[in-house]
Amino acid sequence: MNKPDYPLEGLRVLDLSRVLAGPYVGRMLCDLGAEVVKIEPPEGDVTRNWGKVVAGLSGYYTQQNVGKHDICIDLRKPGGPALVKQLAAKADVLIENFRPGVMAQYGLSYDALAAANSRLIMLSISGFGQSGPESQRPAYASVLHAESGIVARQAATDGTPPVDPRVSIADMNAALHGTVGVLSALHLRQRTGLGQHIDIGMLDTMIATDDYAHMALDGVPNPHGIVNDVWEVVGGHIVVSGDFRWVWRQLNELCGLADPTPAGAPLKEKIATRRKAVAQYLRSFGQRSALYAALDKANLAWGNVLSSEQAMQSETLAARESLVEIDDRDGGKRRVVRSPYRFSAAQSGVRGLAPHRGEHNREVMQRWLGLAADEIAALIGNGVLLSDERA
């Protein structure tokens, strides 16, 4: 029996993006079967220096770019933009996350590229969108975390000074919404035969993906809503999910936790007394297994507070083969996270190694554009195509 196909097999993608939001779109499309060619500038993607570096490949860069092919084009050299335009004429999708207007400065606006390839779908990711009063502002995830309200809301909820979360929520939101946009445009192209330009603003994606946005729209002040409490228990901490009133009722009715609240106590005292009783109850278990059994009896959802390193040891991740080993290109192996898609009749997952800068210059020029060896040599000689020594 033949292996099932990858859903996006045969799709050609040019990835001109850097860091995270754009590269993650390319990584997901690659895992789903697309041929993704990353186009790097001469200085390379800045993330090549982030994390543990093995054989010139950092962990961060590897995670976002594994499986892609890589070419390096200097857009500042005569012939550089023209070469990108030639490649775009052969592509189905182009991803970029420059500041709005930069692509146009090189003659690579959507209109210019679509003139040669009307089927091209171009995804542009920026902080504040391609148009509007703030479109030219530089934006990283932390900027959008601050300006979308989540930093202030978390500080108000916790009663602590504002702190940026240690995960690039804005980049990942933009990447996932961008991926949905690309797949939708591909579906529409099947009916119309035409591509289009997709404008993804990170601020838009933060607001659209904020399940507390309705409170701000309705004028409900922070902090409101359900707070999932973290409790100190034997062996560390645990999260018990749900509003405290629900947690209390379940423990009281199903686990026999007595209510120590004095008769006639005001609401504030009642809440404080019950919270103290729950904290003492959860700390009373000498083994976590006994605690788990009690929480399960109370029909409460709970989660262990783990470090990232501990989380990677999850038996669920192991069973679902969510972490895969690839060649580290230095005689060993390194692990990367597999994309989360599991199909009943299709394949997905890591399809190659992380590329060096310019590693596939010759291959892509020959296969995509049909250039002869002397033409490729001229591009290299003129400084349009570059590569690392390792490539």
pLDDT of residue 293: 97
- Domain housing 54: 12-212+314-386
93 shares its domain with 147: yes
Q: Are residues 322 and 277 in the same domain?
A: no
At 226 the pLDDT is 73
Is residue 140 domain-shared with residue 30, that is, in the same domain?
yes
Q: Is 3 domain-assigned?
A: no
24 found inside a domain: yes
Residue 220 lies in a domain: no
Q: Which amino acid is at 390?
A: R
Neighbouring CB atoms inside 10 A of 89's CB total 15
Look up residue 379 and give its two tokens: 């591009």
The CATH number covering residue 252 comes to 3.30.1540
252, 278, 307 — which closes off a domain?
307
Show which residues are catalytic. 171
Are residues 145 and 169 in contact, defined by beta-carbon separation less than 8 angstroms?
yes
Reported as a single tens digit per residue, the pLDDT across 23-62 is 999 999 999 999 999 999 999 999 999 999 999 999 999 9
Q: Do 282 and 160 share a structural domain?
A: no
Beta strands in the chain (DSSP E): 12-15, 35-40, 53-54, 57-58, 69-73, 93-96, 121-126, 197-201, 229-233, 236-240, 302-304, 323-327, 333-337, 385-386
Residue 68 included in any domain: yes
Q: Distances in Å between the alpha carbon of 285 and those of 230, 260, 280, 297? A: 16, 19, 9, 14
CB 22, CB 95: distance < 8 Å: yes
Query: Which residue among 307, 337, 363 closes a domain?
Result: 307
Query: 124 by DSSP, 3-state: which?
Result: strand
Read off the pTM. Answer: 0.92
Instruction: Give the tokens for residue 65.
Output: 């770019």
For 100, 117, 240, 273, the CA distances from 291, given in Å and listed in that order, are 53, 62, 12, 21
Give dist(CA 169, CA 311) in Å, integer. Answer: 19
pLDDT of residue 225: 65
CATH number assigned to the domain comprising residue 380: 3.40.50.10540
What CA–CA distance (Å, rounded) separates 103 from 108?
5
Diameter over CA atoms, the chain:
92
Q: What are phi and psi of 226, to 5 degrees?
A: -75, 130
| Last-in-domain residue among 262, 285, 307 | 307
Could you tell me if 299 and 330 lie in one domain?
no
**Cα radius of gyration rounded to whole Å, the chain:** 26
Residue 5 lies in a domain: no
Task: List the beta bridge partners of residue 236.
Answer: 233
Residues of the chain predicted below pLDDT 70: 1-2, 222-225, 391
Are both 38 and 181 inside the same structural domain?
Answer: yes
Both 323 and 270 in one domain: the answer is no
Check residue 224 and give its pLDDT: 62
Any domain includes 222: no
Q: Is the same domain home to 37 and 149? A: yes
Both 368 and 329 in one domain: the answer is yes
User: What is the CB neighbour count within 10 angstroms for residue 336?
Assistant: 18
Domain co-membership, 41 together with 88: yes
- Both 248 and 200 in a single domain? no
Helix (H) or strand (E) holding 308: helix 308-311
Domains: count for the chain: 2
Position 6 in a domain: no
| Residue 100, both tokens | 């709005």
Q: Which two tokens mark 47?
A: 């993330």
Query: Is the residue at 217 inside a domain?
Result: no
C-alpha 13/C-alpha 95 separation (Å) is 8
**Do both 139 and 246 map to the same domain?**
no
pLDDT value of position 1: 52
